[in-house]
Amino acid sequence: MTLLITIAALVAGIGHVSAQASVTVKVAWYIDGFGVSQAFGRAAEFRDMLSGDPQQQGLDYLFNTTTGAGLTIIRNRIGSGTTSSDSILPKSPGGPTAAANYSFDDDDRGQVWFSQQAMKYGVKTIYADAWSAPGFMKTNNNENNGGYLCGTPGHTCSSGDWRQAYADFLVQYVKYYSARGIPITQLGFLNEPDYVTSYSSMQSGANEAASFIPILYDTLEKNGLSNVSLTCCDAMGWNSQKSITQGLVSAGMERYLKYITSHMYSSDPNSVIPTKLKTWQTEAADLQSRWCATWYGSGGQCEGMTWANKIHNGLANANLSAYIYWQGVEVNQFQASSYLVASDGKTLTPSGRLWAFAMWSRFVRPGAYRVSTSGSVSSTGITAFKNTDGSVVVVFLNSGGSQQSVKVSFSDFTPGAAEAYVTDNTRSVASVTATLSGGAVTVSVPSRGMLTVKLTAAA
């Protein structure tokens, strides 16, 4: 059944239709959700530096669908360090075919706790990603400063081919979490493989990745973990990931992978990557600004409106199925805006960035399908979705300096109730009037703000 939505922009105060666009809605792709990470010990800091009500409030800001953003994905780091707190295999077993002496500390720098807390809110998507293989598996014998996985094309090591051992290492990590009632749903083996840095990092191009992906896929299958979906490659930016993906597709890797994953530090997702796989934006953040909670000021990188535009462009122009910010909650880190909620140890302050995520995540739930639209409203981006419960969600993002009054009507869908929520400089996901009459809903989209409309079908 085709859902037809007609959007009319009304002249404020007059009520005459100044523009009308018929918007045909059809299934385009499915939404997996929106999320955050607490990697590199931030989960432990969240747990240990906040307690009681502040800790609960921090979790609520991230995951609560009434008072928070209602996030539905978490991204955990698979550690590769030289201590038992940062790796399940901190020391080399002596060679790639030697028996590995795995161990797990039941904490994983707080990520076990964070995963359990997220699951209490109904989070079911847990992405585990490795920044690097353990150093002894790499050409530079160091988990840091890049280096390649031994045994990948053009990268031989005197110690041997470590590809199968790395696959075993990743699968064992998944098994440790599974044994604790935490199902890993997506598994990645690379993070920013096009970037060499002083912390955990490992280089790879499409050829290297393609030589490893079938090995990891088969290892999951042999261990009864075929339900775990493989991702690649969390490149530094969308354009870089697009290039890597071209090589992966040419090598036939789509049969093994389920997701293409990217970051946005060198380029934002603004166009479709040619692949039949779902695409995720798995790490995004403002790494330049001091902490700010502003919705809109001057269009700065830390502002909520800036991030609303980034998310909108990713959904509308790059066909994203997920968008993940770097960190969720941080304590006493006011020099940065690389996270969504700040705390001084007692008081928590949500950012405009959090509320930008909330305007989608609280209402567009996992399994919803994104629908394509045609037509326009002045200075306003529009994304529309249908949830698995049958509700329809339309998200408006007005980048202009004038309020837009909009009428939305439907065919093949009869709304029985309508809710509307607004975020701008004075309101954060605040309930506002949505007038439902004759099967159509009329709403006002604030200047430099967002409005989300949720409609449920008539009985």
pLDDT at 20 over 60: no
pLDDT at 14: 28
The H or E element that residue 349 is part of is strand 348-350
For 11, the 3-state DSSP assignment is: coil
Closest CA to 131 of 214, 234, 209: 234
Whole-angstrom distance, CA of residue 268 vs CA of residue 355: 20
CA distances, 65 to each of 20, 122, 277 (Å): 33, 10, 28
User: 5 or 44, which is more confident?
Assistant: 44
pLDDT at 29: 83
Whole-angstrom distance, CA of residue 28 vs CA of residue 311: 17
Whole-angstrom distance, CA of residue 91 vs CA of residue 110: 22
Residue 359, both tokens = 């305007």
pLDDT at 92 over 60: yes
Residue 252's region, left for phi above 0, alpha for psi from -120 to 50, else beta, is left
pLDDT at 300: 97
pLDDT at 12: 38
Q: Could you report the per-residue pLDDT of 229-245, keeping only the tens digit for each? A: 999 999 999 999 999 99
Mean pLDDT value across residues 285-305:
97
pTM (2 d.p.): 0.95
- In the structure, what pLDDT confidence band is assigned to residue 1 with cuts at 50, 70 and 90? very low
pLDDT at 23: 37
- In the structure, what pLDDT confidence band is assigned to residue 410 with cuts at 50, 70 and 90? confident
Q: Could you report the per-residue pLDDT of 215-229, keeping only the tens digit for each? A: 999 999 999 999 999
Q: Could you report the per-residue pLDDT of 415-433, keeping only the tens digit for each? A: 999 999 999 999 999 999 9
Q: Could you report the per-residue pLDDT of 333-363, keeping only the tens digit for each? A: 999 999 999 999 999 999 999 999 999 999 9
pLDDT at 270 over 90: yes
Q: CA triplet 404, 365, 318: central angle to 5 degrees?
A: 65
Whole-angstrom distance, CA of residue 193 vs CA of residue 191: 6
- In the structure, what pLDDT confidence band is assigned to residue 27 with cuts at 50, 70 and 90? low
Residue 292, both tokens = 């700010």
